[in-house]
């Protein structure tokens, strides 16, 4: 009986080790067929730049910088708004600057996968949130933002 338990345990352990390998091969095949993977360093740089841009007080300068990191078909959906262009999003950022003068966005954590980044952040002592960034060809195409008002 002891040999059977040991053999069964070995089979289960070896079986569980092979599943991720198969999954990774399938995932790689899907990604190479559908789109080029944006390097992590490019995604990290764009995410950090996104928050630097949000902290720019000049609307014109911010808009110019947005054009460098967002795709032409940029889309953002947030707990409070949705925009289909970064120009419209810039108007909302203007309102954020008015509502929270002197407050800056700060990153607390960045995690990346293939063409996706998950970021947690805070805006001074007023807001915190979690964003999901989607990338294509090195540019941010979509942001899904979950925002919480600090009490």
16-37 pLDDT, tens per residue?
333 333 433 434 344 445 568 8
3-state secondary structure at position 116: strand
Q: What is the pTM of this model?
A: 0.75
What one-character-per-residue DSSP string does 32-94 give?
HHH-PPPPHHHHHHHHHHHHHHHT---HHHHHHHHHHHEEEEEEEE-SS-EESSHHHHHHHHH
Q: What is the average per-residue pLDDT within 89-116?
A: 95
The domain ranges of the chain are 42-149
Structural class in CATH, domain 42-149: alpha beta
pLDDT digits (tens, 9 = 90+) for 128-149: 999 999 999 999 999 999 999 8
Measured CA distances, 78 to 81, 115, 144 (Å):
5, 20, 6
Q: What is the average per-residue pLDDT within 46-68?
A: 97
Contact indicator for 76, 89 with CB cutoff of 8 Å: yes
Tokens standing for residue 3: 């040999």
């Amino acid at each position: 009986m002891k040999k059977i338990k040991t053999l069964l345990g070995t089979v289960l352990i070896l079986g569980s080790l092979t599943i991720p390998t198969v999954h990774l091969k399938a995932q790689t095949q899907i990604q190479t067929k559908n789109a080029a993977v944006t390097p992590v360093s490019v995604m990290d740089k764009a995410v950090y730049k996104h928050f630097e841009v949000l902290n720019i007080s000049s609307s014109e300068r911010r808009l110019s910088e947005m054009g460098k990191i967002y795709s032409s078909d940029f889309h953002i959906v947030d707990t409070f708004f949705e925009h289909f262009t970064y120009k419209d999003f810039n108007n909302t950022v203007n309102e954020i600057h008015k509502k929270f003068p002197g407050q800056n966005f700060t990153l607390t954590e960045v995690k990346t996968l293939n063409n996706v980044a998950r970021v947690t952040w805070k805006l001074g002592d007023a807001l915190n949130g979690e964003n999901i960034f989607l990338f294509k060809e090195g540019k941010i195409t979509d942001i899904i933002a979950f925002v919480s008002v600090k009490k």
